[in-house]
Structure 1
Amino acid sequence: MPVLFSALLPPDDVVEAIAEAVGEPGGGLRWEPPERWHVTLAYYGPDDLETRTAWLERRLAGRAAVGVRLEKAATFPGVLWLTVAGTELTPLAHAAGADAESRPYAAHLTLARFPREDPGRAARWTQKLAGFTSRCWQATEVALMTSEREPGGPRYRVARVFELDGA
């Protein structure tokens, strides 16, 4: 069974703006490559693709497109990420299943990982990206993604796209 999650994929120009703001990645962090950047709505783990597709079709039917803007960097233990401005995304994430997770939903885009025991490693990057703000874009679709383990890190693939109203 594939590992599944739902996500919003930033448009190319937003990915380029993030990459430009980051500049030369380094500093002892393990950086996610731009092709893996996404805003997770919900994580499902190993799941049946057809069953999850049908479930999401019902849950996302009639949902409106949402405005998304990425802003300053922050950290979770071991993770450097960009915040998502506003709260429009939370109802969509809950419809996609985020409310079933044990932790509260925090919309973000993961940039890099670092050892949990060394939070100072990300301090330079939170300072460097403190003033970052992407343009606001309309997220008009939700992607159901598969994640496969590969030697260089996970490989994400779009398995299905669900259009949001206003697309």
Structure 2
Amino acid sequence: MPVLFSALLPPDDVVEAISAALGDPGDGLRWEPPERWHITLAYYGPDDVGTRAAWLSARLAGRPAVDVRLEKAATFPGVLWLTVAGSELEPLAHAAGAGAEPRPYRAHLTLARFPREEPGLAARWTRQLAGFTSRRWQAAEVALMTSERDPGGPRYRVARSFGLDHA
């Protein structure tokens, strides 16, 4: 069974703005390529796509589209990420199943990973991206994603998409 999660995918122009803010990131961190950038709503682990899609469709039915904006960088141990502005995302994430995880939900877009014992590697980037703000966009679709192991890192694929209601 594939590993599944639900996510919001940033629009192309937001991906381009992030890439421009990063410039040439160089060495030191393991950078996520732009094609893997996403905002996870909920992680499901190994699951059947059809079963999870039916469950997610029922949970998202009638939910409104949400406004999203990415802002300054922050870190978890070993992870450099962009924060997600706006309070509308949390109810959507919980509807998608985020509350089932043991740790609290924190909306973010992972940019890079680094050894936990070397937090200073990300300090340059939290400073460089301190003033970053993307444009606000309306996320009108939730993607059910598959994650497959690949020698170059995980490969993500949209298995199903679920439209959200426009305001």
Structure-2-length-normalised TM-score: 0.99
**Larger displacement relative to structure 2 (149-158 or 23-32):** 23-32
Q: Does 1:145 align with 2:145?
A: yes
TM superposition shift of 1:25? 1.2
Q: What stretches of structure 2 of length at least 5 have no aligned partner?
A: none
Q: Does 1:25 align with 2:20?
A: no
TM superposition shift of 1:27? 4.0
The alignment partner of 1:19 has SS state of helix
**Cα distance in 2, alignment partners of residues 113 and 23 from structure 1:** 17
1:11 aligned partner: 11
For 1:137, the aligned partner's letter is W
The alignment partner of 2:62 has SS state of coil
1:125-149 deviation line (CA, Å, top 9, x unaligned): 0000000000000000000000000
Q: Does 1:93 align with 2:81?
A: no
**Cα distance in 2, alignment partners of residues 100 and 135 from structure 1:** 31
**Cα distance in 2, alignment partners of residues 116 and 160 from structure 1:** 34
**Larger displacement relative to structure 2 (24-33 or 129-138):** 24-33
For 1:2, the aligned partner's letter is P
Q: What stretches of structure 1 of length at least 5 have no aligned partner?
A: none
Aligned length: 167
For 1:50, the aligned partner's letter is G
Q: Does 1:131 align with 2:121?
A: no
**Cα distance in 2, alignment partners of residues 66 and 4 from structure 1:** 22
1:157 aligned partner: 157
Contact 1:27 1:121 (8 Å CA) reproduced: no
- After TM superposition, the structure 1 = structure 2 runs for residues 23-102 of structure 1, keeping only pairs within 5 Å, are 23-102=23-102
Ranges of 4+ aligned residues in structure 1 off by more than 6 Å:
none
Cα RMSD after superposing both structures:
0.8
**Cα distance in 2, alignment partners of residues 25 and 142 from structure 1:** 29
Structure-1-length-normalised TM-score: 0.99
1:114 aligned partner: 114
Contact 1:65 1:164 (8 Å CA) reproduced: yes
**Larger displacement relative to structure 2 (3-12 or 21-30):** 21-30
